[in-house]
Amino acid sequence: MRALPTTAGRGAVACAAAPVPRRSLLLSTAAAGAALHSEQLAGTTTPLRLTWSATGAAAAKIRASADAATFTSTDEAVAWAKKDNRRLLHAVYRVGDLNKTIKFYTECLGMKLLRKRDIPEEKYTNAFLGYGPEESHFVVELTYNYGVDKYDVGEGFGHFGIGVDDVAKTVELIRAKGGKVTREPGPVKGGNTVIAFVEDPDGYKFEILERPGTPEPLCQVMLRVGDLDRAISFYEKAYGMELLRKRDNPEYKYTVAMMGYGPEEKNAVLELTYNYGVTEYDKGNAYAQIAIGTDDVYKTAEVVKLFGGKVVREPGPLPGINTKITAILDPDGWKSVFVDNIDFAKELE
């Protein structure tokens, strides 16, 4: 597997690759068995390449659904996306030993097991963990596929972020419980925030940030991108996110942009990282996607199309469940699933 150049400021995690069943590409909280049209369906670790062009599409009139109104301009589409009721719902990824991972997250990271479901006919199990109810908090959705005990985290996925009152005490607790500490507590490079890094049993990295009293402890998902300005523009226009802040670190040759639906002190956010000179990454077969709530999956898909995004699952209800979703790839091939807010609330009843 190709390694990142030594100049890349935010290193990658990797573990041995294993074939991934098609069912493991989750589409939403209720759709672990659905398959998507992408290179990762077969468990390949080949970097996903997309053609990124909004030429012509930006001026087109595209219907949101058979009965929905047409966006007559890109400005109208952006305005709708900004007003849509959106938040990050959960991050979906695969693990090799579900019980071992649950034990690490609850005992070392202080999460709670919110719910767990086994789908024997599809040969997978999900577990949802976090720091508060799914109705109001960002959580993780772990997927265990029967018989698959190892995955390749790849180079593109960076880490999850967890805000705590005291980084040093948290790290000592994790160490005492047998957790792996990969970066001792101390100020972040180029800044003052005290951080540390730990690693879970599957090789996923967690950045522990000193953020006393935060209402959203599970606060970040870091993904690496090949063109930061392109990514920022896409997430602002197609996803309706705000650029919360941007920081360049020329000494360490990387730039980060925080994107989200509200202040990062109170909401989970995406941390997009550009390492100087690196334009694509091997995504592995471990990390799957982020789920985002929306009031209208049909309009969401059309806004994405207007700005050149790739819709890999057309909007509509899932068979047998009726939760409406649509699945999207961003310019770097990172997947998001938009889930109807009302339908998602019904799932949690």
Q: Which residues are annotated as a binding site?
A: 141, 159, 207
If you search the block for the tokens 């041995």, which residue do you land on? Answer: 16
**Annotated catalytic residue: which of 134, 207, 264, 302?**
207
Q: How far apart are CA 137 and CA 205, in angstroms?
A: 20
Residues 6+ apart with CB under 8 A from 209: 161, 162, 163, 164, 167, 193, 194, 195, 219, 220
Specify the long-range contacts of residues 96-103, CB closer than 8 Å, at least 24 apart: 96/144, 96/148, 96/149, 96/150, 96/151, 96/201, 96/202, 97/144, 97/149, 97/201, 97/202, 98/125, 98/127, 98/142, 98/144, 100/201, 101/127, 101/142, 101/200, 101/201, 101/202, 102/127, 102/129, 102/142
Q: Do the beta carbons of residue 129 and residue 142 sit within 8 Å?
A: yes
The residue type at 42:
A
207 flagged as catalytic = yes
Q: Do the beta carbons of residue 74 and residue 307 sit within 8 Å?
A: yes
Tell me phi and psi for residue 297, to 5 degrees.
-70, -25
Q: Annotated binding residues for Zn(2+), as ranges?
A: 141, 159, 207
DSSP-derived letter for residue 7 is T
Q: Where are the alpha helices (DSSP H) in the chain?
A: 74-83, 98-107, 167-176, 228-237, 297-306, 341-347
Catalytic residue annotation: 207
